[in-house]
Amino acid sequence: MQTEFTKYEGAGNDFILIDNRDGVFTPDAAVIARLCDRHFGIGADGLMTLARNAEIDCSMRYYNADGSEGEMCGNGARCFALFAHHLGIGGETKYFDAADGLHTARICRSKGSAGEIELGMTAVREIRTGEGWWFLNTGVPHYVEFVDDLESVDVIGRGRIIRRDTARFPQGTNVNFVQVTGNGTIRVRTYERGVENETLACGTGATAAAIVTNFVLQRRTAHFAVSVPGGELAVRFSHEPETQTYTDICLTGPARRVFGGVFDSENF
Ligand SMILES: N[C@H](CCC[C@H](N)C(=O)O)C(=O)O
């Protein structure tokens, strides 16, 4: 069977998008892992399907490069919204759900294959802290640790160990190292669940890092410029210091269609 796909990237976090409104594509972990393989497949950090939804514009499902399902992906969801836009689905603001809940995505700018998208995130859950680390769920689980020099961190080596530390993080966790570079500016490097290499950006990770920075430094700053290896993201939110609640969280950043093609399922 021939399946059409489109490749997108958001700040260098790259994805295979499949329009599955006809429901013909059946996600299978081994097939997804093969499609995401950079030598034997198309190559990507993850794969997303777009399905019909009777109440809202559409539904997104996200799979990591190893074929495991993730509840949400920030960079992926911006790419997903632009993909929906390119397919002519919905208005300027898209309404869709992911496994973590409902999302809105406003297409702030769209020109040719590229766009700027403001994505509404679900409310933060499970903030907790340990010695020198923080943990929270911004759609998917995130570990956050502050460092003085981001360049010298062994992101893959340390990330691999922390990611699978199920004694502390029962569902596993994405791992973020954060350097504060100014008031409202941070740099982040992430090692994700379900991907073997360091990704160039992680949207839910950038969001988690901005929230923890606010939480730890007890600042009123609720606007963060987040620099990641693959580009620049922005995170803003409403913060209630008395109860430490974070709501109306928005992640803004780029998304771009890179190329499209067809694969033959029999080969995967
Ligand atoms: N790249 C992502 C996160 C993917 C989710 C994932 N790695 C997991 O927790 O399973 C992002 O931009 O938010």
The answer to whether residues 250 and 119 touch, using CB atoms and an 8 Å cutoff, is yes
pLDDT digits (tens, 9 = 90+) for 97-106: 999 999 999 9
What pLDDT is recorded for position 104? 98
pLDDT digits (tens, 9 = 90+) for 209-218: 999 999 887 6
- Regarding whether 131 and 247 lie in a shared domain, the answer is yes
142 Cβ closer than 6 Å to some ligand 1 atom:
no
Average pLDDT over residues 185-195: 97
- Regarding whether 154 and 231 lie in a shared domain, the answer is yes
- Regarding whether 161 and 134 lie in a shared domain, the answer is yes
- Regarding whether 109 and 169 lie in a shared domain, the answer is no
Query: CA distances (Å), 156 to each of 71, 153, 161, 176, in order?
Result: 22, 9, 9, 11
Say which CATH number the domain at 205 has. 3.10.310.10
- Report CA 92 to chain centroid distance, whole Å: 21
Structural domain span for residue 219: 125-251
- Regarding whether 152 and 107 lie in a shared domain, the answer is no
Can you name the residues that pair with 182 across neighbouring β-strands?
Answer: 185
Q: Which residue is listed with tokens 């933060």? A: 124
* 214 annotated ligand binder: no
- Regarding whether 259 and 200 lie in a shared domain, the answer is no
Catalytic residue among 36, 73, 79, 250: 73
- Regarding whether 112 and 138 lie in a shared domain, the answer is no
Handedness of CA 33, 34, 40, 46 (dihedral sign): negative
pLDDT of 183 over the 70 cut: yes
Q: Which two tokens stand for residue 14?
A: 């790259």
User: What is the distance in A from the centroid of ligand 1 to the CA of 141?
Assistant: 9
- What's at 204, amino acid-wise? T
How many domains in the chain?
A: 2
70 Cβ closer than 6 Å to some ligand 1 atom:
yes
pLDDT digits (tens, 9 = 90+) for 33-56: 999 999 999 999 999 999 999 999
76 Cβ closer than 6 Å to some ligand 1 atom:
yes
- Regarding whether 132 and 222 lie in a shared domain, the answer is yes
pLDDT digits (tens, 9 = 90+) for 222-248: 899 999 999 999 999 998 878 878 899
- How many H helices and E strands in the chain? 4, 16
253 Cβ closer than 6 Å to some ligand 1 atom:
no
The greatest distance separating any two alpha carbons of the chain, rounded to the nearest whole angstrom, comes to 57
- Regarding whether 60 and 44 lie in a shared domain, the answer is yes
- Regarding whether 196 and 239 lie in a shared domain, the answer is yes
- Report CA 10 to chain centroid distance, whole Å: 9
Whole-model pTM: value is 0.96
Residues in Cβ contact with 138 at an 8 Å cutoff, skipping those fewer than 6 apart: 72, 74, 121, 122, 124, 204, 205, 207, 208, 211, 249
- Regarding whether 235 and 140 lie in a shared domain, the answer is yes
For ligand 1, mutation pick of 45, 47, 73, 176 (most atoms within 8 Å of CB): 73
73 Cβ closer than 6 Å to some ligand 1 atom:
yes
Pairwise CA distance, residues 142 & 208, whole Å = 7
Pairwise CA distance, residues 30 & 197, whole Å = 18
Give ipTM to 2 decimals.
Answer: 0.95
User: What is the distance in A from the centroid of ligand 1 to the CA of 72?
Assistant: 6
Helix 74-86 vs helix 203-217: crossing angle, to nearest 10: 130
For ligand 1, mutation pick of 138, 193, 251 (most atoms within 8 Å of CB): 193
Q: Which two tokens stand for residue 140?
A: 């998917």
Pairwise CA distance, residues 68 & 171, whole Å = 12
- Regarding whether 237 and 201 lie in a shared domain, the answer is yes
**Which stretches does DSSP call E strand in the chain?**
2-10, 13-19, 46-51, 58-64, 69-70, 93-98, 101-111, 114-120, 125-130, 133-137, 141-146, 174-182, 185-191, 223-228, 231-240, 245-264
Whether 202 is catalytic: yes
User: What is the distance in A from the centroid of ligand 1 to the CA of 230?
Assistant: 15
